[in-house]
Structure 1
């Protein structure tokens, strides 16, 4: 069973430990909702200074709200709109220091100031996105981006 671990190493060491925990949570489980739910809960427990962690899943040409931790959120986001839709349409991580400066930002939670969105790509197609919001401007750095991309890669390996 999963046990809460104390994160006392460097930022990268802590991320690597969390990714190891993710792999343990996913091992032997094929249910997509269960895996995404545990992944969002793990990230929410691990990350500090965030107010929303979750997934949007591809349905046609839009993203539909999936498992998450945080306040109620926007349910549907068209590809190309907002930070999530841009990440999905460009198949590229979006690390936004100030969401209010992002053209077309969709404000689901007025408290959010910065955001990082990592596309989940399987077999060359965008399966969905991992979306993380923070109430602080410029919350996410290059290490967060690199390690959250590694987290997303480990997750996608287990999704059906």
Structure 2
């Protein structure tokens, strides 16, 4: 994007039909494949019902805790200085934190070995809520990489 243009206004989203929550609506939109929103909603709500059956906890609270646990605090960006590329640790903006957390939860849910997508998503959310799972491992790996490259933080731009 050119620097001469004005700032882009974020689009206003409506909440999802069941909880009227914008974060859930965003999650469902990211879960959606080929424009099949009703299928994505069914998968998400069925996963929440499965969480309710397995844990006995409020599934909306489990979802929010899982998303909070999956959000990264820092990440590394490549910065080229004098012919050498450094991995520079930077703090993640709140909008990007949310997007990365959602993306990782969905990506690692899809790569699980359970039978259906609703069970894959449910078990990934339950593991993320406990602080385990592939999405949490990804967050920890990036944090460790940022800690290892803390010496290059003065190259931040």
Alignment TM-score, normalising by the size of structure 2: 0.23
Q: Which has the higher helix share?
A: 2
Q: Which has the higher strand share?
A: 1
Q: Which has the larger radius of gyration?
A: 2
